[in-house]
Structure 1
């Protein structure tokens, strides 16, 4: 069955959709006074409702690194307002061998060059330059292997 011009255009747009979703989430963040690289490059889709609830869908849960390692669930939710993502769900950060949920991400003053991560027990200020580009986010097992370590299970030995 030959492709009509309309079906070809539809197929072309469907193939471009993941790129559009990824670039548009980063454009959305920038339009709200946030750095483009807060979410990884493997964003599949996102939605933003009238109340400001942002829901970001990733291909799968994954690990990335800003200053420390961060873990993204396959769905990350937050209330988006100018300069902030508040009430985050689905994002945790490694601090001193503990994984702590990131509650808020706030840019109070862009000219300061700092971004604030609220991890509940502490507020951590990081350089905005760490978030200029979307991080590479890999499944946990792949990241461990790339670090030169492999997860090993217990084996029964006689």
Structure 2
């Protein structure tokens, strides 16, 4: 358990659903990801170590979400962790995607160049799938995106 605590040393930690929700949205925006890509429910704790990029989000219970835009079911454990940098989340834990009949862990999420508007999810085995970023946008984000692309 000491190793886990070391990763979290010096972390900024917030508690409570409202504070955690705001912190997770702020983090996604800062990294350049759409807000809907991590639809976690009932968050109770979020933390971030700025020096190392380590983040974690704890929710009351595991949660499954179906993304209509990518036609995928994703499972989120009680705790989701990652190391973050602009346009990338790596060494992710606590996230699995259902592929046919198997649950496959997701270890990395990468925003391609902004011009391509694509997001790629990789597994620990190095396999990945790419989707349009709009598949993970909130309705509000989609509306803005469509307005801007028509200008």
Instruction: Name the TM-score, length of structure 2 as normaliser.
Output: 0.72
Task: Render the CA deviation track for 1:51-102: whole Å, top value 9, x for unaligned.
Answer: 1001111121010012210000000111011101101111000111110000
- Structure exhibiting the larger radius of gyration computed from Cα positions: 1
**Residue 53 of structure 1: aligned partner:** 54
d(CA) in 1 for partners of 2:40, 2:95:
15
Q: Which runs of 5+ in 2 are unaligned?
A: 1-14, 140-151
- Within a 5 Å distance, the mapping from 1:54-93 to structure 2 comes to 54-66=55-67, 67=70, 68-93=72-97
d(CA) in 2 for partners of 1:90, 1:112:
28
Residue 41 of structure 1 deviates from its aligned partner by 4.4
CA RMSD of aligned residues (A): 1.9
d(CA) in 2 for partners of 1:17, 1:72:
18
Moved over 4 A (4+): none
Asked whether the 8 Å contact 1:45–1:57 carries over to 2, the reply is yes
d(CA) in 1 for partners of 2:46, 2:94:
14
Q: Which runs of 5+ in 1 are unaligned?
A: 1-15, 135-158
- Which protein, 1 or 2, shows the higher relative CO under an 8 Å CA cutoff with sep ≥ 6? 1
